[in-house]
Structure 1
Amino acid sequence: MRFVAAILAVIALISCENQQKNEFNSVEISPVFIDSLSIRAIEPLDENRVWFAADKGKMGLIDGEIPKLAIIKYGDSLLHFRSIASTKEAVFVLSIANPAVLYKIGFNGSEATNIEEVYNEKGDNVFYDSMKFWNENEGIAIGDPVEDCMSVIITRNGGNTWQKIPCVNLPKIVRGEAAFAASNSNIAVFGNHAWVATGGRKSRVMHSADKGETWEIFDTPIVNGKAMTGIYSIDFLDETTGIIFGGNWEDKSNNEGNKAITRDGGKTWKLIANGKEPGYRSSVKFVPGAKGQGIVAVGSPGISYSSDGGKNWKELSKEGFFAIEFVNDSVAFASGNNRISKLLFEK
């Protein structure tokens, strides 16, 4: 028995050492692009290249130290972009507000080739928030309601054309429920699944298991009821495990009811670290390769990290960002006011 106990103690010690060894202890932040922009949508290609879309009609590819930039006008107006997604042959940017204009920009691996308008929607309440692709052919973008449902558009042909799903095929929302175009991350996709996070009057998660053909909606314990409360970001590790993060933009220090985990594909959600730091964050991501234990959340108050699946968090930096996207298990890009930075997480 003593021998068995000793073996178990050694195993526990090794496991503890491995966990500590794999835990992030700091982050090195290196600006790669600086401009007078609000940058809320980024799409990395690798450790040295990242697409971005911003306000003032500006989008582009940061290629190492070389910014390849474009300014997109709609008539005489400069569009404001907060949604971006890419396939192997193209990048897509979608503007907020009226009109919503979606552009497909060809990409040959190093340079943008051609640009074409592939979707246009006009209306007083039109406002698109985020965009993702399941694969090379099928993608989804979501926006605030113009009727009694969220706006959802789908492509099945590589982004060449997009169709809006009729409200009769979508869950009904309540008046004052919408989404936040804060970080291009209130959609998560995995396999055939899509999850869409809402906020405002209600904080809920819409789910499709068949790439947008059918939908259901689930309640969450995230704070709601005011215009700036709710879920700002959602991420899924696999078909069952996901995280939602947000809070109250008008009370960023409030750390109650602002982060939750699901283990059943979004049907039920349980608050994590409730009443503990961090408060409001606008973008959350599972760390690649960390088996759901490593999670990073960023927002204007700073960068927070959990090594135990969200139970406990520590602050890695007070430098604020709107969005984060990982390239691998230790490198990410983050965007914010006037800049894009590369983040190197160190153990």
Structure 2
Amino acid sequence: MRTRLGKLSASVATAVAVALALLPAGAASAEDLSWEQSVIDPDQSFRGLDAVDAKTAWISGGSLSGGAGKVYRTTDGGETWQDVTPPGTEGLSLRDVEAHDAHTAVVLSIGPGEASRIWRTTDGGTSWTETFRNTEEDAFYNCLDFYPGGKRGLAVSDPVDGKFRILATSDSGRTWEVLPTEGMPDSTGEYNFSASGDCLVIRGHDAWFGSGGASARVFHSTDRGLTWEATDSTLPAGEAAGVFGLAFRTPRHGIAVGGDFAAPADGTDASAYTSDARSWTNGGDLTHLGEDAAWLAGSRSTVITVGESGDVAGSSVSHDGGVTWTQFDTAGFHTLDCTPDGSCWAAGGGGRVGRM
């Protein structure tokens, strides 16, 4: 099925995104930024997004009515979207999608036990192969990402026996293995939030994931996921609070965003930044949840964050690397991605997709 979108042509969307990306940091003020929104599938809450470039993007989500979680793909800048959902996703929530190009992508469904599954396609979603199905009752996989080149990838599960569980692939997602836990710090009482598909991210040779619950920490690995060091994120922890999303401009410079789903309007201390990939400094407050973040291409200090929870939603921009934030749109989304060619995409509840 293809859904036609006529609100914004691909050429205009690309031109706007590239122009914004090439402006010096701070030149694109909050007044210059806004989202052009379209509804692809009102029954879906989209939380997985991977934008390949200005023309190609993949999104994934879960049904609001209990139906199938779905995957959609565009190759024409968002003018049309094709339903490329794997078979057998009824009742599942597809919270993360990682795409190599217009043809190859990996999708993760979340949940306890066998609800956590991974599929892979190499023909643009015409066919899919299920490459992993969790068999551990206590495991609950939340996010995944791949190292440069797309062969090595990691997925993270909530703690099993007091330690986060890491799943790894070395063949582009064709097969997966659970890694030993000796190199994982004790994480009793913590868990991930699969809010945006970016609770685990990879940049260069480094990987990070965020936590909440008993502590709100950022875990960092420099050896392909075998050992991890945990650092306080400075974000408040709680039953529904912690780190929701991470974004790194370089392997040293990153942003952590989050909040509290129980109090989505309270954005106090809901962001942090790092310049050494190890220690974190509390950033500016937000007026909404920070579920995901992305750096604007061509800028060393401009980063965007989005979030939505019921009536509380918004999009904010920082021109100083996360030290301060300004809300630029009342539209909020669950997930966000900006590509090297300057295009920015977002997706969220009610089947909405945004282009900047």
AA partner of residue 33 (structure 1): I
Q: Over alpha carbons, which structure has the higher Rg? A: 1
Report if the CA contact (8 A) 2:41-2:352 is conserved: yes
Aligned length: 318
Question: Whole-Å Cα distance in 1 between the matches of residues 121 and 49 of structure 2?
Answer: 15
Pick closer, same or farther for the CA change 1:335–1:323 going to 2, 3 Å. same
Deviations 1:28-75 (A, max 9, x none): 41326233111100111222321111112311213333322134444x
Deviations 1:319-343 (A, max 9, x none): 1210111124652111111224232
Report if the CA contact (8 A) 1:143-1:150 is conserved: yes
1:41 equivalent to 2:48? Answer yes
1:297 equivalent to 2:297? Answer no
1:58 equivalent to 2:70? Answer yes
Report if the CA contact (8 A) 1:290-1:329 is conserved: no
Report if the CA contact (8 A) 1:137-1:155 is conserved: yes
AA partner of residue 103 (structure 1): W
5+ long unaligned stretches in structure 1:
1-16
1:272 equivalent to 2:250? Answer no
After TM superposition, the score normalised by the length of structure 2 is: 0.83
AA partner of residue 272 (structure 1): G
Question: Whole-Å Cα distance in 2 between the matches of residues 302 and 120 of structure 1?
Answer: 35
Equivalent residue number for residue 95 of structure 1: 109
Question: Whole-Å Cα distance in 1 between the matches of residues 302 and 349 of structure 2?
Answer: 26
1:31 equivalent to 2:44? Answer no
Report if the CA contact (8 A) 1:256-1:279 is conserved: no
Equivalent residue number for residue 10 of structure 1: none
Deviations 1:302-332 (A, max 9, x none): 1111112222221111112101111246521
Question: Whole-Å Cα distance in 2 between the matches of residues 83 and 201 of structure 1?
Answer: 24
Report if the CA contact (8 A) 1:80-1:96 is conserved: yes
1:21 equivalent to 2:32? Answer no
Paired residue secondary structure (2:159): coil
1:158 equivalent to 2:172? Answer yes
Q: 2:264 aligns with which of 225, 230, 252?
A: 252
1:149 equivalent to 2:160? Answer no
Question: Whole-Å Cα distance in 2 between the matches of residues 302 and 279 of structure 1?
Answer: 6
Q: CA deviation at 1:144?
A: 1.1
**Stretches (4+) displaced over 6 A:** none
Q: CA deviation at 1:178?
A: 0.3
Question: Whole-Å Cα distance in 1 between the matches of residues 188 and 198 of structure 2?
Answer: 22
Pick closer, same or farther for the CA change 1:49–1:35 going to 2, 3 Å. farther
AA partner of residue 132 (structure 2): Y
Superposed CA RMSD in Å reads: 2.1
AA partner of residue 293 (structure 2): V
Report if the CA contact (8 A) 1:192-1:210 is conserved: yes
Q: CA deviation at 1:26?
A: 2.2
Equivalent residue number for residue 185 of structure 1: 198
Pick closer, same or farther for the CA change 1:297–1:72 going to 2, 3 Å. same
Equivalent residue number for residue 315 of structure 1: 327
Which moved further from structure 2: 64-73 or 234-243?
64-73
Equivalent residue number for residue 240 of structure 2: 228
Question: Whole-Å Cα distance in 2 between the matches of residues 326 and 249 of structure 1?
Answer: 25
AA partner of residue 110 (structure 2): I
Deviations 1:237-287 (A, max 9, x none): 11211111101111122232211111111x2111112xx433421111121
Equivalent residue number for residue 104 of structure 1: 120
Deviations 1:201-247 (A, max 9, x none): 111111111221322221221101x2101000111111211111101
Q: 1:68 aligns with which of 82, 91, 95?
A: 82
Paired residue secondary structure (1:188): strand
Question: Whole-Å Cα distance in 1 between the matches of residues 245 and 213 of structure 2?
Answer: 13
Equivalent residue number for residue 6 of structure 1: none
Report if the CA contact (8 A) 1:278-1:313 is conserved: no
